[in-house]
Amino acid sequence: MRFDLVEELCRLVRVRSEVTVAEDGRILRSNYDEAVKAVVQLAEKGGLEAEVVELEAVGGRVPAVLVEGPGAGPSLALVSHYDVVPARGPWRLGGVEYDPYDPRVVDGRVYGRGAADDKSAIVASLAALAELAEEGGPLRYKPSVVVTGDEEVGGLGVRALLDAGYRWDRAIILDAGAEYVSVGASGVVFGWIRVRGRSGHAGYPHRAVNPVEGAVRLAHELLSTYKPHRASKLSRFGAPPGSPVPRVWGRFSLTIFKLAPGEPEKHNRIPSEALLGFDVRLLPEEGLEEALSELYSFVSSASAKLGVEAEVTAWGQPGWYAKDEEFVREVVGAARRAYRAVGIEGEVGVAAELGGNDGTFFDAVGIPVVAFGAIRSESNVHSENEFVHVRDLLMLKEFVKSVLKPSGA
């Protein structure tokens, strides 16, 4: 049975399946069971059988949905996620306010939290499998739509699924851009630099050691030394369209500056601890341990130079890059055919992601992986007025069908 992709996407967007990490490290999940139920209902509407897999991830349960399609060849995982980053409304579109979870369809776009990232991929992949089952005929792969949660907090759902022993011969991450086929993604290191001092009265600064001022000086030193060092690292993989340099490069950003938990925020009090939050982006082929060691070395050197007491707490995941060139060619060909099928002009590029995605975890267990999706650079992912083009929703459905059909079919 064929269904209306826009209508079904709007139905999924209405589920507020948010996830975030609290300041104390707890993972806060909302409406996961409702999201899973909606995905199962969509699969069943398309005449497909869905299996719900109960998974235990860090901080609680994260159910996944597996939907197998027709076919008898090598297995292919089509990977997406139902969780979204929190959205606080109202949003404003054309002068009209609306709730981020009450989607709007305007000028060929579906607006709402998760419309692009990544519920578009859920709808497109299930619609493709439903149409292929209805059409019949041989397929190149045995497809399985894999929908997990916790992608937005480090891919905990996919990690739990793979840790439980689930495997496929190949995988395509559909949580990806539509302008190019991704043959890799950046690794990430993030965390805190804790600067310690000695609290005191602001009227008597000579009796205190000010960690805020120490953190400012340390931040300036790292931005002057570590940031350009990271930027000098260049990958062998091309960067996405519109990037300032042609190849993926190393990046360092200071993203948060605040007092340590429990420190009173008072203008006349010098605190005892301040925190700098940071984000480091690795090259797809860069080792995680090497990157962590480099970070610790730069912070240690800068702290010693400035006489600042600082401690780093960091977490991370490596990047990945495609290792099966034949699979890459298949996916690029399918993407180009999908463009033509829906009348999108232009060429599909090949590049590596500046961000990360769940491909890391498939690569880590030896499953060849690439990525392609419906997200455009202008889709406002994680921001207000997130949207997906209806034509890209249709394009992604055609892409999945093209990947699965034998050459020339």
Q: Which residues are catalytic?
A: 83, 151
Pairing of strands 273-281, 251-259: antiparallel
Q: Residue 367 and residue 405: Cα distance in Å, rounded?
A: 21
Q: Residue 104 and residue 38: Cα distance in Å, rounded?
A: 19
DSSP label at residue 195: E
Q: How big is the chain, counted in residues?
A: 409
Helices 288-306 and 211-231: angle between axes, nearest 10 degrees: 140
Pairing of strands 234-238, 142-148: unpaired
Q: What 3-state class would DSSP assign to 253?
A: strand
**Residue carrying structure tokens 């990271």:** 230
Peptide bond into 324 cis (omega under 30): no
Q: Residue 26 and residue 12: Cα distance in Å, rounded?
A: 26
**Tokens (6 digits) for 311:** 């401690």
Q: Residue 84 and residue 388: Cα distance in Å, rounded?
A: 14
Any residues with CB less than 8 A from the CB of 221 and at least 6 apart, and which?
302, 305, 306
Q: Residue 272 and residue 218: Cα distance in Å, rounded?
A: 16
Instruction: Choose among 314, 281, 6, 39: nearest CA to 149.
Output: 39
User: Are 301 and 282 within 8 A, CB to CB?
Assistant: no
Share in percent of the chain as helix, strand, coil (round to 5): 35, 30, 40
Cα–Cα distances in angstroms (integers) from residue 151 to residues 8, 31, 268, 305, 313, in the given order: 21, 15, 42, 39, 22
**Tokens (6 digits) for 300:** 């240690």
**Ramachandran angles phi, psi of 287, nearest 5°:** -75, 140
70, exposed or middle or buried, with CB in 10 Å at 0-12, 13-18, 19+? Answer: middle
Q: Residue 320 and residue 202: Cα distance in Å, rounded?
A: 49
